[in-house]
């Protein structure tokens, strides 16, 4: 089976085109986290970015405790009882949240998951390895009346068996979450485990979302049978708004910006005043009706990059001086292609890490690690650019290819669960190992 897993970054980009990794590094180097920190309840911090290191004020767990429902024991007592075939008295019962007494020699304690280990005990025997028993014939009357009965243990535990030690998870003073951590469910649970009722986080990134083009119609504005010739429904706005919200951004939808320079300048100038980023789709080419580029250049600066990738070659980054709107500082501008698939791919590979870093998150200037998987398709024609193919895992452990890889076919994205990162000039034969990027990692 052939392999096709070498990093695409190793190959040179086409002359005049920028490599994807170079573009990502250049983009991330241009951004600093937004100013502004706020304190929010831990329960409301999902998706936010931690503004400072979070250190634990206590050990977690704060005491030795049982991992199982069972019996806290002294190992030497169990070894002797097993050798002699004797049962042991259950001297006490310790539920979670309660401390027991010191374990007397020759006895065991009924214990439950999470309950503190009694002094003197050095292991736990889980209840599946124990059976209720009658007291031995030679037990004294006092022993026979053990408060919680008698039990016969089938195995001798190892030292510390089924015991969670104090500080095993977290030591007091240890940093459990570093500044720049994006808070998901696991991080919020960890913060709660050390008693953090609130967290200091970076403020949300404010994004203005603009779609350019007279041909764009908002869903609901006109029924399909009344669309004017050449008109299309605006799909980019809906998946971009959803992904921006998942990133925790505050989103303002500017709606359609007409193909008119004065209208474009007014819309972008006003948006720059109150937003950190203006995200546009379309309008950054060099056509007579593409007004975003000259407007941003007039208000600040704009670089139009040609990225050596397919789909998604055109990409723009720049800024607008807020002084044009009576404000201070700069507002970033990101220009994505108008074709839906190109727009989607450039967002997840370039705009998403940019927005995360702008929001204070720690972001590596590289793509996420790819998974080696087997292609269950053929790609007999190589492209001069690095390709990101829409694929889906199948029930036999391989990848299927969506049959139409055109950059306008949004059904390929809805169908796919990942992208194959295919180096420029590479063909793929059925059975080859390819680089698979799960889309789930880009949509959280």
Per-residue pLDDT tens over the stretch 284-301: 655 545 678 889 999 999
The residue ranges of DSSP E strands in 196-329, in sequence order, are 198-202, 206-212, 216-217, 232-233, 250-257, 277-281, 300-306, 309-310, 314-321
Distance CA 55, CA 255 (A): 44
Would you call 97 exposed, middle or buried from its count of C-beta atoms within 10 A (0-12, 13-18, 19+)?
exposed
Q: Does residue 136 carry a pLDDT above 90?
A: no
Is pLDDT at 192 greater than 60 in this prediction?
yes
Specify the pLDDT at position 285: 55
pLDDT band at 325 (very low <50, low <70, confident <90, very high): confident
Mean pLDDT, range 216-232, rounded to an integer:
80
pLDDT at 141 over 80: no
* pLDDT at 312 > cutoff 70: yes
> Looking at residue 5, what is its pLDDT?
57
- The continuous run of DSSP H or E covering 334 comes out as strand 330-336
The residues with which 110 forms a beta bridge, in sequence order, are 71, 93
Q: Which of 22-36, 42-56, 71-85, 245-259 has the lowest mean pLDDT?
A: 245-259
Mean pLDDT, residues 35-44: 96
Q: Which of 120-124, 185-189, 216-220 has the lowest mean pLDDT?
A: 216-220
What mean pLDDT do residues 256-268 have? 84
- Please classify residue 344 by burial: count the beta carbons closer than 10 Å to its beta carbon, then call 0-12 exposed, 13-18 middle and 19+ buried: buried
Does residue 18 have a pLDDT over 70? yes
pLDDT at site 220: 77
Q: Which residue has the higher pLDDT, 152 or 146?
A: 152
* Residue 323 near residue 267 (C-beta atoms within 8 A): no
**Could you tell me the pLDDT band of residue 189, with boundaries at 50, 70 and 90?**
very high
Q: Name which of 315, 344, 346, 347 is nearest 408 in CA terms.
A: 344
- Over residues 306-312, the mean pLDDT reads 93
Which has more confidence, 28 or 287?
28
Residue 98 has pLDDT above 80, yes or no: yes
Mean pLDDT of all residues in 194-208: 97
**259 or 135: which carries more pLDDT confidence?**
135
Please, which pLDDT band fits residue 7 given cuts at 50, 70 and 90? low
**Whether the predicted pLDDT of 437 surpasses 70:** yes
Please report the pLDDT score of residue 219 as a whole number. 79
- Tell me the C-alpha distance between 228 and 214, whole Å: 11
Whether the pLDDT of residue 73 is over 90: the answer is yes
**10: confidence class by pLDDT, cuts 50, 70, 90:** very low
pLDDT score at 43: 96
Mean pLDDT of the chain: 91
- 152 token code pair: 């016969």
Q: What is the DSSP letter of 349?
A: I
| pLDDT surpasses 70 at 14 | no
Classify burial at 145, counting beta carbons within 10 Å of its beta carbon; exposed 0-12, middle 13-18, buried 19 or more.
exposed
Average pLDDT score over residue span 314-323: 94
Examine the pLDDT at 315 and tell me if it is beyond 80.
Answer: yes
Give 3-state DSSP helix, strand, coil % of the chain, rounded to 5.
Answer: 25, 30, 45
């Amino acid at each position: 089976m052939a392999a096709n897993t070498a990093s695409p970054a190793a190959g040179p980009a086409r002359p005049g085109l920028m490599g994807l990794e170079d573009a990502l590094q250049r983009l991330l180097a241009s951004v600093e986290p937004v100013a502004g920190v706020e304190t929010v309840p831990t329960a409301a911090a999902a998706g936010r970015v931690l503004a400072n290191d979070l250190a634990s004020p206590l050990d977690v767990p704060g005491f030795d405790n049982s991992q199982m429902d069972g019996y806290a024991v002294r190992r030497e007592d169990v070894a002797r009882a097993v050798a002699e075939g004797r049962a042991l008295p259950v001297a006490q019962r310790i539920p979670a949240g309660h401390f027991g007494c010191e374990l007397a020699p020759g006895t065991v304690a009924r214990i439950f998951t999470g309950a503190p280990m009694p002094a003197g005990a050095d292991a736990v025997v889980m209840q599946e390895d124990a059976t209720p028993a009658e007291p031995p014939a030679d037990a004294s009357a006092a022993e026979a009346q053990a408060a919680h009965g008698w039990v016969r243990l089938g195995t001798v535990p190892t030292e510390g068996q089924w015991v969670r030690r104090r500080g095993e998870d977290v030591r007091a003073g240890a940093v459990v979450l570093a500044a720049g951590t994006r808070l998901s469910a696991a991080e919020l649970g960890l913060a709660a485990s050390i008693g953090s009722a609130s967290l200091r986080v970076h403020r949300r990134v404010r994004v203005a979302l603009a779609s350019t083009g007279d041909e764009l119609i908002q869903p609901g504005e006109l029924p399909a049978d009344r669309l004017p010739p050449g008109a299309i429904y605006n799909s980019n706005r809906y998946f971009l708004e959803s992904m921006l919200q998942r990133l925790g951004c505050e989103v303002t939808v500017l709606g359609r910006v007409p193909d008119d320079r004065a209208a474009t300048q007014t819309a972008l100038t006003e948006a720059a005043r109150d937003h950190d980023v203006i995200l546009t789709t379309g309008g950054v080419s060099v056509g007579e009706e593409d007004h975003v580029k000259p407007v941003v250049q007039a208000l600040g600066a704009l670089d139009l990059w040609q990225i050596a990738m397919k789909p998604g070659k055109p990409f723009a980054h720049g800024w607008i001086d807020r002084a044009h709107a009576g404000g201070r500082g700069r507002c970033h501008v990101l220009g994505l292609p108008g074709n839906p698939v190109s727009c989607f791919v450039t967002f997840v590979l370039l705009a998403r890490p940019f927005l995360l870093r702008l929001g204070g998150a720690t972001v590596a200037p590289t793509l996420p690690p790819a998974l080696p998987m087997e292609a269950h398709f053929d790609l007999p024609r190589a492209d001069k650019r690095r390709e990101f193919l829409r694929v889906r895992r199948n029930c036999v452990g391989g990848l299927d290819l969506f049959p139409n890889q055109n950059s306008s076919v949004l059904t390929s994205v809805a169908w796919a669960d990942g992208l194959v990162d295919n180096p420029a000039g590479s063909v793929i034969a059925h059975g080859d190992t390819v680089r698979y990027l799960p889309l789930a990692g880009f949509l959280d």
